[in-house]
Amino acid sequence: MLFRRMTLHNFGTYAGSQTLDLATEPDRPVILVGGKNGAGKSTFLEAIRLCFYGQSSDRLLTTRDRYERYLLARMHRGNSLSLPAKHSFVEIEFDYADETGLSTYTAKRSWERKAISGVAESFELLA
C-alpha cells in the first residue's frame, strides 16, 4: 500500500481542511513529517490508524461510550472563544496492489456531533 494524499478536516490540531501530498517518486522515495511539539505529528499518524480501523484502532476503546468520548475529544475545538467543530473527517487516497494489478482507493471516515449526545460515524471505501 502506498499513500497518495491525506485530508484532515477539523481533526485534532488541524482546523478546517488540510491536505497533505504523500505521493512518492523515484527521486523522492520517502516522505518525512516533522514539526515542533504539539504541531500535529502524532495526530497525523493517529488519523491514519483511525481512518482504517475505527473503534478497533486502539485496544482501550472497548465500549461505544469510550469510543464516542474519544472521537469528541479528537474533533477540533479551536480556541476558547469558538465553538467546537460539529463535523470532522479523515480521508486517505492510496494505491493497493494485488494479483489483479494496481488500484487506487479512497477511504473516508467521518464523524458528526449529535445534537443531544454522542457521535454519528460513517465509513466509505471508494475504488
Res. 6: pLDDT tops 90: yes
Stated pTM of the model: 0.87
Residues above pLDDT 70, as percent of the chain: 95
| Cα–Cα distance measured from residue 84 to residue 75, given in angstroms and rounded to the nearest whole number | 7
Q: Which residue has the higher pLDDT, 120 or 76?
A: 120
Res. 32: pLDDT tops 80: yes
Spell out the residues 6+ positions from residue 78 whose beta carbon is closer than 8 angstroms to its own: 15, 84, 85
Q: What is the pLDDT of residues 74-118, one digit of tens each?
A: 888 776 556 677 899 999 999 999 999 999 999 999 999 887 778
| Cα–Cα distance measured from residue 95 to residue 104, given in angstroms and rounded to the nearest whole number | 4
